[in-house]
Structure 1
Amino acid sequence: MTAVTGSDRRTDDRYFTRIASTPALIERAEPTVWGGPEGGMFGAQELEAHERDGFVQVPQLLTAEEVAGYAAELDRLATDPAVRGDERCIVEKSSNEVRSIFEVHRISDAIARLVADDRVAGRARQILGSDVYVHQSRINYKPGFGGGGFYWHSDFETWHAEDGMPLPRAVSCSISLTENFAYNGCLMIMPGSHRTFVSCVGETPEDHYRASLKEQEIGTPDPDSLTALADRHGIAMLTGAAGSATFFDSNCMHGSSDNISPYPRSNIFVVFNSVENTSVEPFYAPGRRPDFIGARDFTPVPR
């Protein structure tokens, strides 16, 4: 696709955000599913569910043996001093424990192989109807007794405003390495919310990512907009066994609460963007975020 550039980007952009004094609800024009069931792992019913709800779950994407192997890899990364000292490692605001490690598919060969696995990238190609590249990858740790949550947000709002992603033609894959209970900070999504873009209030400051990766404030919806979406769609709590996965649309309204239970929650998180939707300059931010957060290498994931 040919992306508009310069000042015309804002003039022609229907997904405006962070520039008005009041929020707005903007109905989506693009589909959620761009491909079909032919030759892929998702069947027609699963793709229909993704189109309707904005997400679809895969109950056992990984085997028990694979879960154990990737869990050990996460432990290795979290305790590696070199990783801990890297700017791609984000620690909790209060406890200084590891919260996330970004660009993990470039740090870990094992996770790089998983990202390219047809069970993962193949399903993303099906949903997006094209080759895909990794816009972002990370591992999230949410230890028991204090793992921090993620406030309600649409990823596309941030990726559009701060990374220059033109359209919501991206999909995230969250692979659980621990069991997700309703009480240990599981992912929550408003089913069907992917059809409505919530324009947020508040101008993006310089180097906003340094604060937002620990606790996001700019780019989060106002209470009235969140209430309207929740009243319209409800809230789904996505629980499941270790090894399960959730694929969800970039514009889903989602979040997770703090984990005050004794039971940790960790996952591998990969964002696939269509090669026909590559990022341009940020739409509503003074500059690009670092490449390890919003990739500028658009090389397709190999088949």
Structure 2
Amino acid sequence: MSQNTDVSFRDVYSDGGTDAYPTRLSAGEPQLLDRPDPTVWASAADGPFDRDELAAHARNGYTILEGLITPAEVQGYWQELVRLSADSDLKSDERVVTERSSGEVRSIFEVHRISELVDRLARDPRILDRAQQILGSEVYLHQSRVNYMPGFRGNGFYWHSDFETWHAEDGMPQPRAVSCSIALTDNYPYNGGLMVMPGSHRTFVQCVGETPDDHYKASLKEQEIGVPREDDITKLAASCGIDQFTGPAGSTLFFDANIMHGSGNNITPYPRSNIFLVFNSVENAPVEPFAAGSPRPSFIGARDITPLHR
């Protein structure tokens, strides 16, 4: 049975607690804030990652595992993406986001509720056990989607922290969430692969600007509110550097909710597509948004924290 998690912000913070991650400032200078919460919440005894792997994840904010998904499985998931993108019944579904310029499918959200294959993938112990180990608890899917970046005309995503949006617009209290990106195509340095700033997850970057009503409708195509200033991106790049998620299809990236990341446009002939799963701790249930008038729709930020099981 689904749990009711639409907890009042006032109920949670009536004891005098303060928001450790204030953002979407209307006045004042945005700051780079030290993160008070851990990145890894369990130990090597609690899952498949060993002690060194957990330490590296805590230090860098991400982990790349090549070959986690077999070539045969990749082919099956790729065929599923082709099927979904060609499904005429989905074209008018609000869970489908198209490119602003071309009208081609960019993302399909809540895909685990559309595809049984993706739902099984989210419960696969190779994925689920690692998410539970990093977060130190049972988990649920805060968000799922498939991303398409076609060759020649695939648009990238500007630098951002996912947690900034999930905190501001979904009411996620802490960055106790981890994303899993499973590559269904080869990721080269030149076809729009995801870039991350190692160690940047330890810093919360405040953003400016009030969140408009129904902001998600515009931000899913191109985000303008909730993005960091160029000066702050420059500071983080200087102190953290930039790495890139590359590797053959089947490679899997686990990355912290607060890590600064983005991707460039893809002007090569080689498409880049992935399945994207966001696991949130059941102990980090969403409350009312911290910087928006109302939560985003549940297909973008789930309010149902029923734990995932194998």
Q: Same fold (TM over 0.5)?
A: yes
Equivalent residue number for residue 5 of structure 1: 9
Alpha-carbon deviations, 1:177-208, whole Å to 9, x = none?
Answer: 00000100001000000000000011100000
Equivalent residue number for residue 305 of structure 2: 298
Alpha-carbon deviations, 1:186-235, whole Å to 9, x = none?
Answer: 01000000000000011100000000000011000001110000000000
Mapped to 2, the partners of 1:49 and 1:241 lie a distance apart of 22
Equivalent residue number for residue 240 of structure 2: 233
Structure 1 outlier segments of 4+, above 3 Å: 7-11
In the TM superposition, residue 78 of structure 1 has moved relative to its aligned partner by 0.2
- Where in structure 2 are the equivalents of 1:1-303 lying within 5 Å? 5-6=9-10, 8=13, 12-21=18-27, 22-303=29-310
CA RMSD between the two structures: 1.5
In the alignment, structure 2 segments of 5+ residues that lack a partner are none
AA aligned opposite 1:178: T
In the TM superposition, residue 4 of structure 1 has moved relative to its aligned partner by 7.4
Mapped to 1, the partners of 2:235 and 2:8 lie a distance apart of 32
**Percent identity for Structure 1 against Structure 2:** 61
Alpha-carbon deviations, 1:149-193, whole Å to 9, x = none?
Answer: 000000000000000000000000000000000100001000000
Mapped to 2, the partners of 1:33 and 1:114 lie a distance apart of 22
TM-score, normalized by length of structure 1? 0.97
Count of residue correspondences: 302
Larger mean CA deviation between 46-55 and 5-14 belongs to 5-14
TM-score, normalized by length of structure 2? 0.95
Mapped to 1, the partners of 2:231 and 2:224 lie a distance apart of 16
In the TM superposition, residue 20 of structure 1 has moved relative to its aligned partner by 3.9
Mapped to 2, the partners of 1:149 and 1:13 lie a distance apart of 31
AA aligned opposite 1:96: G
Mapped to 2, the partners of 1:39 and 1:24 lie a distance apart of 36
Mapped to 1, the partners of 2:262 and 2:43 lie a distance apart of 28
In the alignment, structure 1 segments of 5+ residues that lack a partner are none
Q: Is the 8 A contact 2:8 2:288 kept in 1?
A: no
